[in-house]
Amino acid sequence: MFTEGKIEGVTIKDLRQFHDNRGWLAETYRVDELGDYKPQMGYISVTFPNVARGPHEHREQTDYFCFLGKFTLYLWDNRKDSATYKTKMVIGNADKLIVTVPPGVVHAYKNSGDAEGMVLNFPDRLYAGRGKKEEVDEIRYENDSESPFKVE
């Protein structure tokens, strides 16, 4: 049903680290490098080993993930008007990567390591809108046994 390949609009870059004798520092985002992208909030999640989050997609929201830990990231282009519609990407060992996921791209990630993994996200929409008074922009597939979006 899906072909493997790159997905239009998904960006992937290394989380560049600056090391010294205390450890390391990394810039998660810089306004001067984001172009038109404008984060509206930020959050951190911790995922236990061998646990997956997703798959789900957003109608309007773009996610800007920073992965810290050994994750496998799954992406499926579900946008009928996209040149890469029905394309699937699997990114193994997504440790210290920044990945931008546009609306309509179904996504999931699984902690494939032996320790807790951390993900920072700086989406361009507020969760449940201003004051958390709006419908959440999310289409969930986790509990749909008929879903074509499967985390291995």
Please write the tens of the pLDDT for every residue from 63-104.
999 999 999 999 999 999 999 999 999 999 999 999 999 999
- Using one digit for the tens of pLDDT, what is the confidence trace for 110-136? 999 999 999 999 999 999 999 999 999
* pLDDT (average), residues 9-29: 95
Contact 103, 59 (CB under 8 A): yes
Selection from 69, 125, 83, 91 nearest residue 13 by Cα: 91
Q: Which residues pair with 78 in a beta bridge?
A: none
pLDDT attached to residue 137:
96
Residue partners of 13: CB distance under 8 A and separation at least 6: 97, 98
Which architecture characterizes domain 3-129 according to CATH? Sandwich (2.60)
Question: Which residues have CB under 8 Å from 143's CB, separation 6+?
Answer: none
What's the predicted TM-score (pTM) here?
A: 0.94
The answer, yes or no, to whether residue 1 has pLDDT greater than 90, is no
